[in-house]
Amino acid sequence: MIKKGCNYVLRICLILAVAFSCLVTPDIAEAAVAETLGDLRREYEEKLAEKREIDNKTEEAKAEIEAKKAAIAKAEEQITQAENDYDEAELAIVESNEKIDSLEEETKKVLLYMQQMQGQNAYVEYVTGASSMTELIMRVEAVNQVTGYIQTTTKNLENEIKKNEELKVELEKKKQDLANQIDSYEETIAKQYDNLDEYNDFALEIDDQVQIAKDNYESSKATCLAKVGRTDDDVVLSTCSDMPINTGWLKPLKSGVVTSPQGYRTHPVTGQKYKFHAAVDIGGNAEGTPVYAAAAGRVSGVAMRTSCGGNKVYIQVTVGGVRYTTYYYHLYSVNVKTGDMVTQNTVIGTVGGGSTSTSNGGYDRCTTGAHLHFGVAEGWYSNEPPSGQVIVPPGFKNSTGYRFYSRSDYYTG
């Protein structure tokens, strides 16, 4: 009985273990924290490879656009030629009809003349007046040739009209086919432009990530060389610097109000629904207001003038024995660089997002006014952390309208 009970419990545990593994989000599963200099080097190399791939896709998209533009130009030339051929066919039909009309008039005249000749015996006299059989045959043949020429020419002209009418139908179909080709090419171009925009947006981000990874690696190498005298891949990062230990959190601003909490929302700029907002937006401060480090730690990355987020700072910290990465976006100015050690009293930059907004002639398309985008993620990262690791910044009420009036104003509700 006991054995059966143990087997039953074991099965339940296995089922729960499988179910839990399925619930782990890809972001969390992919999250990796650099522990050695080798990890930082590999991260840098991976970013370079990623950038090369995006650059290749960008060039492919540009080449496809140029190829389709050339195809459109050629198709437009063919449409113009088809229109000219169509006009010529119509003109030929008109001319053929005019010739037929003219021949019909000539036929009427010949028939009338022959009737008159027959009535006056002129035709008989003309034929029988021949001096020899040869001349007689020639005179009969001459009359037949006149009437035969008119009939043959008329038939030929009617065939030409038929051919030109068929040509017009073919040309209309050709024009339609070419127009459809142009529509298809334009759709391809539009799609490639969308891809290009996507690649370019991402390329800006990947450029920043490459630079951040490079700065982080080189800064860490310099620190390790000074601290332990080594820069090989096996050097453990924790032996290279004395990361400050924080017992708690402070607000990054002396006061403010949450204007957009963390979580899914409709993007205020693009209007995209269910867009994950991996931070809290803090308003109520003018541009140039000092922004502080919420916890003491090491600056792991700085990105300047990005198209979405403006100036960004990433800081690795340890609070209560747990590793976190804090990040600050839309900064008007930045006072730190990668590798700097900061305290909770360090002014890392100033509030931006107003004059830096593209709507105000700036470079940051992801802001509509002055505010600080402040985020916290579990784990150490040198740039944008996985969304599965993002948490509500400790001490904040995650709701629009939440106000705080000092850096130590800690929400515990």
Cβ neighbours of residue 331 closer than 8 Å, sequence gap 6 or more: 291, 310, 311, 312, 313, 348, 349, 350, 351, 352, 372
Cβ pair 323, 392 in contact under 8 A: no
State the pLDDT at residue 89: 87
Mean pLDDT per block of 10 residues along the chain (413 residues) reads 43 40 37 80 92 91 92 93 91 87 74 56 53 57 68 83 88 90 89 76 76 92 94 92 92 96 68 70 97 97 92 96 95 96 97 94 91 95 86 95 97 88
Distance CA 368, CA 281 (A): 11
Distance CA 332, CA 311 (A): 7
With 0.75 as the threshold, say if the pTM is over it. Answer: no
Cα atoms in the Cβ-side hemisphere of radius 13 Å centred on 167: 18
Instruction: Indicate the SS3 state at residue 294.
Output: coil
Q: Which residue do the tokens 């541009």 mark? A: 287
Q: The tokens of 267 are what?
A: 């993007």
131 CB neighbour count, 10 Å cutoff: 7
Instruction: Indicate the SS3 state at residue 292.
Output: strand
Instruction: Say what the alpha-carbon torsion angle 397, 399, 401, 403 is, to the nearest 10 degrees.
Output: 10
State the pLDDT at residue 272: 56
Cα atoms in the Cβ-side hemisphere of radius 13 Å centred on 237: 20
CATH class of the region 242-413? mainly beta
β 310-319/245-246 pair status: parallel
**Domain segments of the chain as ranges:** 65-198, 242-413
Q: Where are the beta strands (DSSP E) in 181-235?
A: none
* Alpha carbon separation from 256 to 271, 284, 294 (Å, rounded): 25, 5, 14
* Alpha carbon separation from 226 to 223, 231, 239 (Å, rounded): 5, 10, 11
